[in-house]
Structure 1
């Protein structure tokens, strides 16, 4: 189901919120809910995404981090003939999947672990020093201006 709300008037009166509006427009687009996942905050700048991937081995899962998008996909290897396995009922979902996560600016994937059918992906937000807020003195002499006067 496509979101039918028109965000155009709001786009014109805001600066820097383009990705927020893009997210609002694409949310609720009927994406599947498989595999299920949790997102938890471990510390101020540390997060973990846990994806339930029961039945998948580590070589059947692909994790790709590209710009502000994290993609987790899985494809089950075809069963070898003569494996000696005869399923009477198959309730463990092993269908192929692809799950995408929008990452905020300056978030990078630190590590990923697969244990007990849960894929844990640790994320860290590292804001560059130049991008961190800094205090500006009002009416005071700034070093850059003083350096120009001395030259």
Structure 2
């Protein structure tokens, strides 16, 4: 035999579900802030690397080894790609914000508390799943962006060494 939840149990369940939904939204917002920080860093470093690489590699003077210029180009490439992944992770997305619009509460006033409670949780389950999928997608994009940032010095060394040995 099923027993309906007591009103205080319903309040606890609603509060628990809302807190989880809010936590997922907060994770998405934190991901956006992190992506913006990496984007600024990557663009600044890539711009400086491209400028330095061009000045060295395309210059007729032999002040610096050409391998350094190509190494700077190699450093910039993963950073540019990483910046693109940062942009992809902050691109506008369909996110469900916590809370319900007034029309739900107007409807809820006309039905039993149990029916409103179930409708609220059923809708919240759909919206929270939507946000969780979005959070996973954005986290993967940021993981790639971070990996490209880590790869930048390695690519720079390989590019510089390759240009030195294969001239």
Q: Which has the higher strand share?
A: 1
TM-score calculated relative to the size of structure 1: 0.26
Point out which structure has higher relative CO (alpha carbons under 8 A, 6+ apart): 2
TM-score, structure 2 normalization: 0.25
More helix by share: 2
